[in-house]
Amino acid sequence: MEKKKEALKVSIYTQKGGVGKSTMTILLASLLHYRLGYNVLVLDCDFPQHSLINMRERDKRTIMESDFHKKLAVKQFHTINKKAYPIIRCKAENALEKAFDFCQDCVVPPDIIFFDLPGTTNTHGVIGALKGMHHIFSPITADRLVLESTLAFSEVFLKLPAQNINAIDQSLYLFWNQVDGREKTGLYKAYQTVIEELSLNILETRIMDSKRFRKEIDDTGNYVFKSTLLPADPQILKATRVDQFAREFLKIICI
């Protein structure tokens, strides 16, 4: 019997809240699954709030109540002929096992599995789950506390030993998120120098800030940005540079 290709395990992870890890997870998952032809699985490990599971339920209600979004959903289904990507509820401690079981039982295995993990590293199972990722992408903002916390964590985490004998090659990349175009470029240059001195990887793409990052689809607007059932509008992806981020992301994970 032919062995199934192993799905790539990815986490958009940071210890700091409000930096956009869950938002970036959904934006990437929806773009890859609905528009770029990849099969995606998302594990919502952020117990107990499980914000992505709750977002999926809100998205379902919105599509049923909005003629605009309902037409988009019907058109999308007929165009790509595949279902919405699954979002599985779990805890960090059993996330890798849940992903393995899903891949063993599914007819169409995922190419990429996103793990949305709790931001507190002392939560049981978080470090073990992170050590099981092929790739970790950590959002940072031009905020001293966010930056110092993320840099300290990244340095320590990369030096931690593997959790088991089946260690995998792993990469960790930082990326600038919520970038305000009015901020002084000298600020970013100074931070960039520190990152380079620590020999940490950082993406070239910077995600520009937008009020849309804080707004889900609803029945009052005729556009899509943050949704688990529809990909974001191309013009908004371009304006925020999420499309550019996705291209660099795919180049790094080599899929």
250, two tokens: 């795919």
The answer as to whether 208 is a domain residue is yes
CB atoms within 10 A of CB 138: 25
Residue 1 lies in a domain: no
Distance CA 72, CA 243 (A): 20
Mark 83-108 as b/e (b = at least 16 C-beta within 10 Å).
ebbebbebbbeebbebbeebbeeeee
User: Does the pLDDT value for residue 60 go beyond 90?
Assistant: yes
Residue 241 within any structural domain of the chain: yes
Nearest to 112 by CA among 9, 4, 254: 9
pLDDT at 216 over 90: no
Task: Judge whether 90 lies within some domain.
Answer: yes
The SS3 of residue 176 is: strand
Residue type at 252 in one-letter notation: I
Closest alpha carbon to 178 in 151, 227, 139, 215: 139
Question: Which residue(s) pair with 157 in the sheet?
Answer: none
Q: Name the domain count of the chain.
A: 1
Q: What is the band of 1 on the pLDDT scale with cuts at 50, 70, 90?
A: very low
Q: Across residues 161-178, what is the average pLDDT?
A: 82
Give me the pLDDT at residue 4, please.
62
Sign of the Cα pseudo-torsion (46, 105, 110, 70, in order): negative
- Checking 243-249 for CB contacts under 8 A at 24+ apart, the result is 243/31, 244/205, 245/28, 245/175, 245/203, 245/205, 245/207, 246/28, 246/31, 246/32, 246/36, 248/203, 248/204, 248/205, 249/28, 249/137, 249/203
The secondary element (H helix, E strand) that includes residue 115 is strand 112-116
Q: pLDDT digits over 191-212, tens only? A: 889 999 999 999 999 999 887 6
Has residue 82 been placed in a domain?
Answer: yes
Contact assessment for residue 207 and residue 176, using Cβ atoms and an 8 Å cutoff: yes
CB 23 within 8 A of CB 114: no
Is residue 113 domain-resident?
yes
Please give the pLDDT value at position 163. Answer: 64
Measured distance CA(192)–CA(147) in Å, rounded: 11
The model's pLDDT over 151-166, given as tens digits with 9 standing for 90+, comes to: 999 999 998 887 665 6
| Rounded CA separation 179/226 (Å) | 18
| CATH classification of the domain holding 222 | 3.40.50.300
- How large is the average pLDDT for residues 8-19? 91
Cα Rg for the chain, rounded, in angstroms? 18
Lowest-confidence pick of 30-39, 166-175, 212-221, 228-237: 212-221
CA distance linking residue 5 with residue 56, whole number of Å: 28
Element (H, E) at 58: helix 51-65
Residue 2 lies in a domain: no
Question: Which structural domain, as residue segments, surrounds residue 186?
Answer: 8-253
Average pLDDT over residues 21-49: 95
- Domain membership of residue 3 (yes or no) is no
